[in-house]
Amino acid sequence: MKFKINYSFVYLLYIVFPLVLISSCKDDAVDEEKVIVIKNSSTAADEAQMAFIEVEEGYTIQFEGGTYDFTNTLSMDGKTNIVIKGAGREVTYLDFSGQTAGGEGVLVTNSSNIRFENLSIIDATGDALKARDCDRISFVGVGTIWSGTPDAGNGAYGLYPVLCTEVYIDNCYAYGASDAGIYVGQSDKVIVKNSLAEGNVAGIEIENTTNADVFDNEATDNTGGILVFDLPGLTQYGSHVRVFNNNVYDNNRANFAPSGNIVGNVPAGTGCMILSTNTVEIFNNSLSENDFAGILVASYLIINDTPNDPNFQPLPYSIFIHDNSHTMTGTISAANQPSLVADIINLLVSNNLDQPNILLDGLILLPTAVCVQEDAGTSFVNMNALNDMSFQSIITDISVHDCTQTPLSAVEFDPF
C-alpha cells in the first residue's frame, strides 16, 4: 500500500509548529520575568513601596539578602496572586527600628492569594505584619522580632491576620510581642503549624475565629503559650478549634502587656488558656513546666461581669481535653501577677494545694461543658466561681468531668 504525502500538512509542520514552540518559550520567559527584585540599596525602601503599589497580578516581589531600613509602613491594598519573599528568614530583614510613620511594619488589605515567605520583620513601631480583609493568605518561613528584652513598648502583634479566610501559617517565628506573637482574629479556616513563639505575652492566640487547627508548634518562655479566646463586641464569635501535637513548655514570663490589654490578665505560667469560647479540642500536647496551670479554662466574666454584648456567650462549653502529657515541678509566686491571679495562687497555698495541671474558674453551666480524659494522677482544681465568687469552695474532684465529646474534624483547604 502506498501513502500519499500531504505536502501542505508537512509545510504546516515545518512552519507553524516551530512558531508554536517559539510562542510557548516566549510565554514561559514572560512568566519567569514576573519578578520584581528589590536590591539592598539606599533607595530600597522607596522601590519596595512602589512595587507594593504597582505590582500586577501573578508577580513576585523578591527581596535579596540583607537588612532593609524602613521609616514608614510598607503597605499593599487590593492585590491578587502576589508573592512577597526574601532569601531566608535569617537572611532578609525588613528593619523598622527607625520607623517614624505608620501603625504597622507591613500591612496588606483587601487582597486575595497573597503569600509572604522567607523573611523577617524586626522592631516595628506597631504590629509587625498585619493582614486585614484578605482571602487565602499564607505566611511561610516568616519571622517577627523585637530586639532586646521584651517589654510593653514593643508592638502588640507579630503575625496579625484579622478578618481573613484561609489563613496558612507554617514554619514561622515570633519573639517579643507585647500582646501575641502569632495571632489570628475574626477569621475562618486557619492552619498554624510548625512554628515557634517565644518571649511574647501570648505565644499563639486564636481569637473569635472559626475552624482553626493549631498543631506541631513550639511555645516557650511566653506568659501564656497557646490561647483560644472569644471576646464580646466583635464581628463574629469563635468555635471549632483544635490544639494538638504542640510542645508547650516553660511559659512563665512575667506579663508585660500594656495596661488595659485583655491579655494583661493572662497568668504568667499558663500553658494553654481557653476563654469564653466553645467547641474546642485540646489533645496530644506536651505541657511541661508551665507553673500556674498546664491548661486553664475560664470565662470572660471572671475579668469583666458586664460584657455589654447581648449575643455574647461568656460561659465556655463543648471543651474536650484529652491525651495530653503534663509535667509540673516548679513553683510560682503571686508577685507580679494580676491581682485576681495572685488571689488564686494565695488561696491554693492556704489550702495546701499545688498549682494544678488543669484549672477551671468554675463559670460553666454543667460539668459536661468541659470533658477531661487525661492520665490518672492529672491534678485538677475547679475554683467553683459560679457558686462561690469568693473561691472558698474549691473542687479537686476531676471525676465529674469524666465525659467525652465528638472529636472535631480537620481543617482543610489548599493554601496559596
Longest dimension (CA), the chain: 106
Residue-level pLDDT at 15: 35
The band of 31, judged by pLDDT with boundaries at 50, 70 and 90, is low
pLDDT at 13 over 60: no
Mean pLDDT, residues 39-64 taken together: 97
Residue-level pLDDT at 24: 40
Model pTM? Answer: 0.91
The band of 392, judged by pLDDT with boundaries at 50, 70 and 90, is confident
pLDDT at 179 over 50: yes
Mean pLDDT, residues 186-211 taken together: 98
Closest CA to 252 of 223, 272, 226, 231: 223
Q: For 262-315, how does the pLDDT look when each residue is reduced to its tens digit (9 = 90+)?
A: 999 999 999 999 999 999 999 999 999 999 999 999 999 999 999 999 999 999
Task: Using a pLDDT cut of 70, give the percent of the chain over it.
Answer: 92
Distance CA 168, CA 185 (A): 13
Closest CA to 200 of 127, 118, 256: 256
The band of 32, judged by pLDDT with boundaries at 50, 70 and 90, is low
Residue 144: beta bridge partners? 121, 174
| Coil, strand or helix at 39 | coil
pLDDT at 76 over 60: yes
Distance CA 305, CA 301 (A): 4
Mean pLDDT of the chain: 92
Task: Using a pLDDT cut of 90, give the percent of the chain over it.
Answer: 85
Residue-level pLDDT at 391: 76
Mean pLDDT, residues 201-205 taken together: 98
The band of 388, judged by pLDDT with boundaries at 50, 70 and 90, is confident
Question: Where does residue 312 rank: exposed (0-12), middle (13-18), buried (19+ CB within 10 A)?
Answer: middle
Distance CA 304, CA 290 (A): 25
> Are the beta carbons of 193 and 213 closer than 8 angstroms?
yes
Question: Where does residue 40 rank: exposed (0-12), middle (13-18), buried (19+ CB within 10 A)?
Answer: middle
Dihedral angle sign, alpha carbons of residues 257, 259, 260, 265:
positive
Residues in the chain: 416
Helix (H) or strand (E) holding 387: none
Distance CA 179, CA 258 (A): 8
Residue-level pLDDT at 59: 98
Closest CA to 58 of 89, 88, 27: 27
Residue-level pLDDT at 387: 81
> Are the beta carbons of 232 and 312 closer than 8 angstroms?
yes
Residue-level pLDDT at 29: 40
Q: How many CB atoms lie within 10 A of CB 354?
A: 14
Please provide residue 54's backbone torsions phi and psi, each rounded to the nearest 5 degrees.
-100, -10
pLDDT at 149 over 60: yes
Residue-level pLDDT at 386: 84
Mean pLDDT, residues 320-337 taken together: 93
Helix (H) or strand (E) holding 18: helix 7-32
Distance CA 180, CA 26 (A): 47
Residue-level pLDDT at 33: 80
Distance CA 286, CA 323 (A): 9
CA dihedral defined by 353, 355, 357, 363, rounded to 10 degrees? 90
Q: For 236-263, how does the pLDDT look when each residue is reduced to its tens digit (9 = 90+)?
A: 999 999 999 999 999 999 999 999 899 9
Residue-level pLDDT at 116: 98
Amino acid of residue 193:
K
Distance CA 63, CA 44 (A): 9
Residue 152: beta bridge partners? none
Distance CA 90, CA 84 (A): 16
Please state the three-class secondary structure of 66-99 as a single string.
Answer: EEEECCCCEEEECCEEEEEECCCCCCEEEECCCC
pLDDT at 106 over 60: yes
